[in-house]
Each structure stands twice: as structure tokens, then as C-alpha cells.
């Protein structure tokens, strides 16, 4: 990764519905524009994202999606209404930010949920996207969400049994993301926090196969985990507010946009078949499988993403 850098500009953009989205720019003001699309939903854009880019080559834009990070209002507050926090709203926010910064088009770099959001943006606004660098790629299909919340119990049976036991008995055979969404919106704060802890424990389990894994320290922060789990379960229980399979069906629409998809072989959260299916129908994309890599990290993942971004910087 490149050395740490600080933003040269930042602000809060009023995007409507009472929301103000935090943004920042760093690197070279005259460089190639690139937008970071963070995962979660609800993880926020941390400073480590800046270090994936050559600061002499890129004008790096980071933003915190609605309800998380430094954006307001914050989803950790159970009184915050999530009805205006959907994929359509986030895509509109990205377009408002682009116009606000006077950027004609940009490279998108996204991971996990951020890869889905980046794909959705590119399929709707292909004229605004110069390239895509995506890693730990997911498409938010019903099959994927069932895999993460239920089928992965075949790999981690004891841990999944604890995760499933966190919801009321009568809801354990239904949609677990919906059941947890109810719990993290419960009027009792102890119920909300117990559910957030249980969900975050399961998150830590299913990203644990990559080399160098360590539990996510952010989950120890009650504010972070409350917002994170409210937003993740809100999006999961609504299939990312996208028609099931839309991003896979739309892959051919990305013809003419260069892409690099980086996937860890040990990524059980987002198995490599999704990235493979996308590149099969997207003629200008290539898939790089990183042996030993997991969901968002592991041996060689970061280096491969940096190399892809360096490659586009040279074009």
C-alpha cells in the first residue's frame, strides 16, 4: 500500500431526505478521478482505502454512504428512519457528489457490498465510468444472502447454530436477515445490542479463513456495530433493493468499460463463482483469483488490487 495521506478537501453534501453525506478528496487534484465505494452496507470509508491509490496519479474521492461513518443522521440511532436509505438513494447520492465535485467520469473501486453498488452505478451510468476495480465481489442475489445467513452453516456448524439461536424460535426457519432486522429495531436497547453482537460475531466467523485474519476491532464499538447491523440487515432483507439477479443479467451492459475483479479463493462470504459469471458476460473485464485470499483480505489481495489500480493509472 502507499503511505498514509490526508484529504486536501472534505465536506458534508446535502443529498435530500434530511441526509448529509460526508465526502473527502485526496491525492492529486489534477489526477485521474477515482471513487471509493465501501462495503457493509454501513462500514464507512476508512483511511486505509486512500492507500490503495498512487497519490501522484489519482484524485481519490471517498464518501460515507447514508447512515454510516461521518454522514448524518447516523443509523446507530434507532429513531433514524431507513425508508430513504436504499440502493436507488445511494446511486443518486453518488451522482450528486460527482456533479458537486465537477467530475465528468471516474474509476470506481469497490469491495463486497461496494462492488454491488459500483456495478449498479456502472450499469445505470456507463458513460460516467472509466474503469472498475472490484474485489470480494458480490451481487446481492437471494442465493448469496441465503448462503451467508444459512447455508454457510455447513462450514461453521457450531458458530451458525449460535447465530441462528439469536433470533426467536418461531423465526429460525425463516429469513434470518429479516429476523435480525426486527431485533436491531426492537424498542429494548438490550435486545438491540445483543442482536448486533450476535450478528457481528457471525460476520467475524465467516471472514476468518484468510491468512492473517483478526477479528474486526470496529465491532467492539457499540455505535459502529449498531449502525452496521441495522444497515446490513436492512439491505439484506430487501435483496439490496435490486431485482434478484439484476446485476448478473446486466453484465453485458458493461461492454466497453475495462474492469479487474479480484477474488480470494478462500472467500466463503462471496464465493468466486459470482465474479466468474460477471466476467463471462462482460467482455472487457478480467478475473484474478488470489490463492489464500479471503473476503476483503488475505495473502496477496491488497497487492493485487494496488497493481490493478496502478495499471489503470498508467493508461
For the annotated catalytic residues, the residue numbers are 112, 267, 295
Secondary structure (3-state) at 9: strand
Report how far residue 144's alpha carbon sits from residue 240's, in angstroms, rounded to the nearest whole number. Answer: 11
Contacts of 271 (CB under 8 A, 6+ apart): 147
Secondary structure (3-state) at 118: helix
Q: Look up residue 56 and give its DSSP letter.
A: T
Task: Kindly list the distances between the CA atom of residue 183 and the CA atoms of 4, 10, 172, 232, in Å, as whole numbers in the listed order.
Answer: 39, 35, 13, 13
Task: Kindly list the distances between the CA atom of residue 206 and the CA atoms of 39, 50, 229, 250, 295, in Å, as whole numbers in the listed order.
Answer: 15, 26, 15, 28, 9
Alpha-helical regions (H) of the chain: 87-101, 113-124, 142-149, 157-165, 176-183, 189-206, 222-236, 246-249, 273-281, 301-314
Amino acid at each position: 500500500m502507499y503511505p498514509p495521506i490526508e484529504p486536501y478537501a472534505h465536506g458534508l453534501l446535502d443529498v435530500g431526505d434530511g441526509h448529509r453525506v460526508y465526502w473527502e478528496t485526496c491525492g492529486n487534484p489534477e489526477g485521474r478521478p477515482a471513487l471509493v465505494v465501501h462495503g457493509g452496507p454501513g462500514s464507512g470509508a476508512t483511511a486505509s482505502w486512500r492507500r490503495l491509490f498512487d497519490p501522484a496519479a489519482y484524485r481519490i474521492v471517498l464518501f460515507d454512504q447514508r447512515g454510516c461513518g461521518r454522514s448524518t443522521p447516523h443509523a446507530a440511532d434507532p429513531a433514524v428512519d431507513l425508508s430513504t436509505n436504499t440502493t436507488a438513494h445511494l446511486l443518486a447520492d453518488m451522482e450528486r457528489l460527482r456533479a458537486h465535485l465537477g467530475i465528468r467520469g471516474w474509476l470506481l473501486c469497490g469491495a463486497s457490498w461496494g462492488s454491488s453498488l459500483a456495478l449498479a452505478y456502472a450499469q445505470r451510468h456507463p458513460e460516467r465510468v472509466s474503469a472498475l476495480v472490484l474485489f470480494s465481489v458480490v451481487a446481492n442475489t437471494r442465493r448469496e444472502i441465503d448462503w451467508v445467513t444459512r447455508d454457510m452453516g455447513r462450514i461453521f456448524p457450531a458458530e451458525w447454530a449460535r447465530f441462528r439461536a439469536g433470533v426467536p424460535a418461531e423465526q429460525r426457519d425463516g429469513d434470518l436477515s429479516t429476523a435480525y432486522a426486527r431485533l436491531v429495531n426492537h424498542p429494548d436497547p438490550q435486545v438491540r445490542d445483543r442482536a448486533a453482537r450476535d450478528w457481528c460475531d457471525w460476520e467475524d466467523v465467516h471472514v476468518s479463513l484468510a491468512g492473517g485474519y483478526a477479528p474486526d476491532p470496529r465491532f467492539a464499538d457499540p455505535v459502529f456495530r449498531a449502525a452496521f447491523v441495522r444497515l446490513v440487515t436492512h439491505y439484506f432483507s430487501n435483496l439490496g433493493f435490486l431485482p434478484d439477479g439484476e446485476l448478473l443479467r446486466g453484465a453485458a451492459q458493461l461492454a466497453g468499460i475495462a474492469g479487474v475483479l479480484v477474488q480470494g479463493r478462500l472467500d466463503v462470504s462471496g464465493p468466486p463463482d459470482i465474479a466468474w459469471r460477471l466476467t463471462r458476460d462482460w467482455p472487457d473485464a478480467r478475473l484474478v483469483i488470489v490463492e489464500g485470499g479471503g473476503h476483503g483480505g488475505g495473502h496477496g489481495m491488497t497487492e493485487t488490487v494496488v497493481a490493478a489500480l496502478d495499471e489503470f493509472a498508467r493508461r
